């Protein structure tokens, strides 16, 4: 795969602001482990090889178990995820693959049993951000591993 254009160079101010937005999410009310699971699952759904690669490496560096990362694609059938993690993954999938009817009320009610209003709002911004990153990286065919050193995931040991 060959990258189409370097969007960071072509739109430096937009890129800078979006990175700032994404960095703010690290201070959100959502714990890092859930943010990482959500980023991985949304990236899988959007077939973003760059982001799947990066988020697996990042989660591994932060201590996530390999088996859980393998199970993210089949989280509904897996016994490795907590009710809170399952709610986050369901919410992320629903927002990523919006149906014509929107997000079902029963899903919203189920997610609200696991997250406060603030947490749910922050989780939604997390889903928004990873979907945007997926779209720019898929659209411009960013090659997996290209920015490992810049993102600090070159130390994951997954090479």
pLDDT tens-digit series, residues 1-16: 899 999 999 999 999 9
The predicted model gives 45-58 an average pLDDT of: 96
* b/e per residue 3-37 (b: at least 16 CB within 10 A): eeeebbeeeeeeeeebeeeeeebeebebeebbbbb
- Position 159 scores a pLDDT of 64
Residue 153 has pLDDT above 90, yes or no: no
What domains, with CATH codes, occur in the chain?
Answer: 7-146 (1.20.1290.10)
Mean predicted lDDT score pLDDT of the chain: 95
Q: What is the Rg, in whole angstroms, of the alpha carbon atoms belonging to the chain?
A: 16
Q: Which residues contact 42 (CB under 8 A, 6 or more apart)?
A: 92, 93, 96, 127, 130, 131, 134
Q: Which residues contact 139 (CB under 8 A, 6 or more apart)?
A: 4
């Amino acid at each position: 795969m060959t990258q189409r254009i370097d969007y960071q160079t072509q739109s430096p101010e937009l890129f800078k602001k979006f990175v700032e937005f994404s960095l703010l999410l690290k201070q959100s009310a959502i714990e890092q482990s859930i943010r990482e699971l959500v980023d991985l699952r949304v990236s899988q759904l959007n077939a973003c090889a760059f982001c799947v690669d990066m988020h697996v490496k990042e989660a591994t560096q932060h201590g996530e178990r390999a088996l859980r990362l393998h199970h993210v694609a089949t989280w509904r059938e897996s016994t490795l995820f907590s009710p809170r993690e399952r709610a986050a993954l369901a919410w992320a999938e629903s927002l990523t693959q919006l149906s014509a009817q929107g997000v079902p009320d029963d899903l919203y009610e189920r997610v609200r049993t696991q997250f406060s209003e603030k947490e749910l709002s922050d989780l939604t911004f997390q889903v928004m951000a990873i979907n945007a990153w997926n779209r720019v990286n898929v659209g411009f065919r960013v090659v997996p591993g290209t920015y490992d050193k810049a993102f600090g995931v070159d130390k994951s040991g997954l090479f």
